[in-house]
Structure 1
């Protein structure tokens, strides 16, 4: 009897398949040294059900985490008012031209119509009057990346290239000639500021100033466009209206004294003796009329100057910044769903006609296209045209482009016969002058001597004004 009992105790117990599965899962989950997940789901454990929280009333009602929303009051929840339309862009483009913490430089003279042609101002720092500042601000000539916000009021260094501009303006006024150039150079070499100086001197002389601050905005496809009356050319009505508004505000003093001298076939009746100021504002207020008024306005500005009240026509300065962006296809599409080349946009097409000399300036003027070193696409055709024109100006053999690189022939042809102007660093004397201005403004806490000037001039890559400003003013150790 005892033998049968012992044999029965030692025998393997009969366990069902369900019990075997449960025991195996329990053993796996209880393993002390195992970090792997269970191979099979535990059917005995019920899944947790997520409760859906219904949104409450009002626009600020919070949703549950299961819906991927952040509850109100939790870290990361938005508590302020979202930015309005165009608010981010306005903040990004906001330009500050005064620093109340900076020391006002005593004895700082302004750039004026009387001292522009004086050779003694070369190498000096001169301020800008309020009237010139307002006109330049209307054309968006100041850039947020420039160091205007570091000083008490805007001032600029009259470098040797600025003196060259003053000499060219004298020649334009006496001989009614025109200057067409592409300004290029290293990043921070002062290309945009040189174009700003040209516009400032033109305003002081009573010339007409037109400026496109960012050519990239013409080709991004962010503004409406439509075919024009000219075959293959497309208008941008809203951009043209904004540009007419800038022209009217910046040149109000001059345009208000000028009136229409020609008859124009417009879609609306126009007063025959209307001032060009009011004429430009009509296009600025109505995008449907902007393109035809823009064309008529340029016809008036480039008409020969005549005797009589309001018939005098001064020279014109037309500048554009970041010109490399308009040397390629734009983001716009034609009816065949093909990209429209930037030169087929009406404003860009008009600018290159002026730059290449196809459209004359009977009263003289300056057409400047400034390149950008900080925000610039790589355009093989444009780069080749710059090298070619620079070599021809020095009586050297023009370089040949790489046959394996795709080159835009329209970009090369647009610069045929156009002068190029390379900006390099400041001289040591010019660097010393601008550093003394930094010290007088309280932004440079070191004594300006030959040793400091030589050090900063060398570290700035040979007097690159942007790097010099960074090393002397913006950098704090």
Structure 2
């Protein structure tokens, strides 16, 4: 037996000793008195294990413990394999080796380390609970089920929630009826008479209300449900629009007024369009109105491609049929007097000498034939010969049709709004590319409450306003890509900015609120000035919100 070099644990308490006391293998009760605080490990086994450790100088760190080299006179047998380092001195271990070697080896020889489960005990099975044998009972048993509340209401039908959301109430029976309220009629729709009524509120007659309701000119966000019957304020811009309509009616040659209305939110742009439609309807014009341009471009209605002289365009049959139905209802008295004078290739049979009302009704019933009927309808309406009425065509939410739409073509590319046939037809009339031989007015309004991102349109509006005011137009941003479609459409279009009411007009509308019983305070000069200031300089929507709707809430 030769002396073997052994390693002993360093008794110095290092950081690893304090960090993990559970890994400290020092004997609390030494077996051998020769070296109580020392553990002896065979060098060969220790060196094989330190391959996963780090060597620092002459000391070895094994399992977080620092060991140093010493000489030990212990004589050991190298061929004795221990599964783990001994917990006693090798001198004491040698005395027990004889008994271990002479003992019978009944256990199976296996490696010191294994991850196999061959010697693991089988899992203990859980005791199965005692299940009572089902027996038949003759009596009734109580079975408690979940408390399900039966629904007694039917689910909403298709389009019912949308109709409820867009429902417009035009009367409030709790409001007071104003005695002697003048109405807007044929006798006072010229600019000179309306100028005398500027700042006053005029009522709308029932035939006019029916025509405006048919073209969906009323909106649920407007305060029509607060008063006894529909009425509107005559403001400066109303007089200007009345003068334009009067000029078109007086002109012998076909004159067309083309304008874009813009302004702050709640400034009354949609109501100004409604006033223009009311005056055009009273003059027996053909009124066509697109209430929400967003419905044309948000991909909520059907579309299909067609080949035209301008390339591939896209028709919207169901929306075209709906628009024809609105036109037929709103202009029944005018269209039933107009006869068809041209021959058209239509997919539906139509008797000779049919009226334009019959043509529009047939197109409204058949969406597949709606676009050919639309083309025939406008061809008859814009014929140069014959005594035909002027046309009033308006669109609300013009910014939505001044950019890319949500529709996709066959190459999965976004379709521009001007590639839709209905939008293209309106844009051609607004830009002057398509002429109205019998005259008329084309009016577009930019939405601010439901604003769309159309920077090219806003730049063109500022440019046209500067040109009208004889000021230098603003330069475009060289780092922004502008829409060529919109630039061409807005090249020669007039613009009108709708600002707040004057104090006289604000006083007139507040007196109307007080006479209707919706404003209990007396209309004084201080109240008018305070309300006008708090409403941002006479924004009519803010005036209504700060007086009538504040008391209602």
Common fold, TM-score beyond 0.5? Answer: yes
SS at match of 2:319: helix
Q: 2:162 aligns with which of 61, 74, 89?
A: 89
Matches within 5 A, 1:144-293: 144-175=220-251, 176-230=254-308, 231-293=311-373
Q: Alpha-carbon deviation of 1:154?
A: 0.2
Q: Distance in 2 between matches of 1:162 and 1:453?
A: 22
C-alpha distance in 1 between matches for 2:243 and 2:481: 40
Distance, in Å, in 1 between the alignment partners of 2:246 and 2:397 is: 27
Q: Output the CA distance in 1 between the equivalents of 2:278 and 2:297.
A: 27
Listed one character per residue, the Cα deviations across residues 242-271 of structure 1 (whole Å, up to 9, x for unaligned) are 000000000000001111122222233422
Aligned residue for 1:126, secondary structure, equals strand
Aligned equivalents of 2:536, 2:262: Cα separation in 1: 16
The one of 405, 430, 435 equivalent to 2:510 is 435
Structure 2 distance, partners of 1:140, 1:163, is 23
1:367 aligns with 2:476: no
> Which consecutive unaligned segments of at least 5 residues does structure 1 have?
1-42, 49-63, 65-69, 307-311
Q: Is the 8 A contact 1:384 1:412 kept in 2?
A: no
Aligned to 1:297: 377
Q: In 2, Cα distance between the equivalents of 1:45 and 1:254?
A: 90
Query: Which residue does 2:401 correspond to in 1?
Result: 326
* Higher alpha-carbon Rg: 2
State the 4+ residue runs in structure 1 displaced beyond 3 angstroms.
43-48, 77-80
Q: Distance in 1 between matches of 2:431 and 2:513?
A: 40
TM-score calculated relative to the size of structure 1: 0.82
Q: CA-atom RMSD, angstroms?
A: 2.1
Shift of 1:378: 1.8
CA distance in 2, matches of 1:378, 1:386: 14
Quick check: 1:302–1:363 contact (8 Å CA) kept in 2? yes
Once the two structures are TM-superposed, the CA of residue 47 in structure 1 deviates from its matched residue by 13
State which of 197, 207, 216 in structure 2 corresponds to 1:140: 216
Q: Equivalent residue for 1:116?
A: 189
With 187-196 and 217-226 compared, the bigger mean Cα shift is at 217-226
Tell me the distance in 1 between the aligned counterparts of 2:514 and 2:227. 11
After superposition, the C-alpha distances for 1:294-350 in whole angstroms (9 at most, x for unaligned) are: 0111111111252xxxxx211111000011111111111111111111100000000
The one-character-per-residue Cα deviations of 1:343-376 (angstroms, maximum 9, x if unpaired) are: 0000000000000000001111010111111001
2:542 maps to 1:467? yes
Classify the secondary structure of the residue corresponding to 2:272: helix
Secondary structure of 1:184 counterpart: strand
After superposition, residues 54-69 of structure 1 pair within 5 angstroms as: none
Q: Quick one: distance in 2 between partners of 1:358 and 1:207?
A: 21
Bigger Cα displacement from structure 2, 330-339 vs 458-467 = 330-339
CA gap of 1:72–1:361, structure 2 versus 1, over 3 A, is same
C-alpha distance in 1 between matches for 2:385 and 2:391: 12
Any stretches of 5+ residues in structure 2 without a counterpart? 1-123, 130-144
Q: TM-score, normalised by structure 2?
A: 0.71
Structure 2 vs 1, CA of residues 305 and 435 (structure 1 numbering), >3 Å: closer, same or farther? farther
- State how far apart, in whole Å, the 1-side matches of 2:206 and 2:196 are: 23
Query: CA separation in 2, counterparts of 1:206 and 1:240?
Result: 23
Q: Distance in 2 between matches of 1:45 and 1:187?
A: 74
Aligned mate of 1:449, from 524, 527, 532: 524
Q: Report the equivalent of 2:206.
A: 130
**In 1, Cα distance between equivalents of 2:493 and 2:127:** 80
Deviations 1:93-137 (A, max 9, x none): 000000000000110111000111113222211000100101110
Give 2:471's match in structure 1, choosing from 396, 400, 419: 396
Structure with bigger RCO (C-alpha 8 Å, 6+ apart): 1
Deviations 1:71-106 (A, max 9, x none): 623xxx966322221111111100000000000011
- Looking at structure 2, the residues matched to 264 and 447 of structure 1 have their Cα atoms a distance apart, in angstroms, of 63
Which residue of the other structure, out of 484, 487, 493, is the alignment partner of 1:412?
487
1:474, 1:452 → 2: CA distance?
16
